[in-house]
A and B are shown apart, each in its own frame.
Chain A
Amino acid sequence: MSPVHFIAIPLFAAFLIPLVGKVSKNLVKLIPGIVFLYLSYVAITLFPIGIHKPIVEIIAGFKAPFGISLYYGPLAAFLTTMITLIGFVIWLYSYKFIIREPIEKYYMLFMMLITGSTGIVLTGDVFNLFVFLEITAIAAYSLTAFLRDKDGAEAAFKYLLIGSFSSTFVLLAIVLLYANVHTLNMADIATKISSVPLTTRIFILILFLMGLGIESEMFPLNGWAPDAYSQAPSPVGAVFGGIVVKASIYALMRLIYLMFEFQSVMHFLVIMGVITMLIAEMSAMRQQQIKRMLAFSSIGQMGLVIIAFGVGTEPSVRAALFQMFNHALIKSLLFFAAGYLVFHSGSKKISALDGLGHDKPITSFFFAFGALAIIGLPPFSGFWSKLYVLLSVANSGLFAAVALILFSSVVEAIYYLRVVSRLYFNTEVATDVRRTPVSGLVAMGILTLVILFVGFYPNLVLHWMTPAANELLNKAAYIKAGLFH
């Protein structure tokens, strides 16, 4: 068993799907499910190994630092498992949600996106990182425009515009990096980076920050996010929030922790995180469309994650990972629920949701559940991660950041609860004879159960988070494993 399956299988499936699509549409729908089942099998097999000792997979026989390698350490194990889980749930949800042709293209792009994301997480090579990033990005642009409507195209074009900038910056950075250290293997770069002049390093860092910052929704580089999230089909919103952004922030943090571990960078990250969070939460407060609101909320949560990464202590990194995990779960749940709420009410506006809680109680319940969880209320999982973030931030003495996080939490509470109270407590307006399909409900149910379970028993996830955090922080171990496996 090899981690390469994580990349290869979805990629293979992506190419298989159009072919199968010629034969049977129903079969197409099943393929991603099979892929995810297989991937979870892979994840279950590899996870116990990877969490203790990193598996380094050499592609095509070239030894590091020359060949392309995959690095399946604790962090990657954790992230791939998370991506598999979320991907599976998204497939389950899409199964009935995506009724619009061409279905096979949707699943193809979805599989490409999974390929790209797992690739970002697994790769040990900077240029490969770029390639996977581009695979993800192109799939994401196309998925954004999947509905082929006016708004989708507009959103996709904006995304593409900014995304091209992002890829340009990343590519530039890689080029400059290569020009200076003449290697592309991340572990190798990390050993050699200290010989590079500081100005160059900072310049490269800035380019990376710009490039990956765009994908990880850092302010002010996140103009694409609300549009793309809101115009893409709902499961795609969940993909963005749960997979793409997580993968790219992983990439950013991996690079920063490996190559640019300056105190000033960390401070900069905290400041950017705070600004991102505040502006996003405040903008979310005044949104009229539910999915835009969720998008802004997503940005805000990423700000929180960036803050926690920026603090850079072991507990804070762990808290950041935990927050990432919870956010992926909860935001997917919210996008799922919002998807059907929008579907039933026939409008993207929040005001159209009045009284839908009576008509569609289960979907609304899931939304309310997700809202409570993402605000960070006990006994849901969001509570613990937020608490851990706060405690770790405070332990570094950044009390202003703590206060601002809590302030934005209040704002967050306001806009989420506004929607929840609209759902349940306005006079009945919306009725829709269409029923929410079972597959969607099962997908949401799975997420709900996981959220509740983690809320009551956070040790389950936290237990695996500690080695992951240590891996990210322990540069020497990474280099050792990456080069001299």
Chain B
Amino acid sequence: MIYDKSSGKIVDIIKNYARKHSLWIVAYGTGCGAIELPPTMTSRYDAERFGIRGSATPRQADVLLITGYLAVKTLKRVIRTYEQMQDPKYVIGFGSCTINGGMYWDSYNTVKALDRYLPVDVYINGCMPRPEAVISGFIELQKLIEAGKANGAKKYKENLDWYRENQRKVIKNWKMPDYNW
């Protein structure tokens, strides 16, 4: 298991540098936030200059981007996607819906606090956040990575029981393969 350590080893420094500058995202376009990603990636804001680019499958990705509210139904898929990603991996919560439910705070069918189900490394505030905010969120993540503090995956593994309990609470038809890496 490789975790981000702020050790002094030169290998780790290189690795962390590379990780920081090469963030491949798998964007889970659940809500209205997905519309903010195209301007982020394209000519005007050009997130690629930070090494951020989309990846096709979770196997190749580093960052799971949850762009907006999560319904119970989609939560299951998000969890699955997250679990298919390879370490080291990070989660960015996007918009206020992921923080507290946002405008869906009293909906019967949305997940209010993403943190209870997945280990979120960085939240980007706003409804919706503008591309500038998104990029700033990414830079925040980069900083965390460089510092070796973006260890959401580790948290997830250590507190797997707690996360599972929360997940099972909302997802009624729980039929998922075990997460065991």
In their complex, do chains A and B touch, with some C-beta pair under 8 Å? no
Which residues does B use to contact A, with CB under 8 Å? none
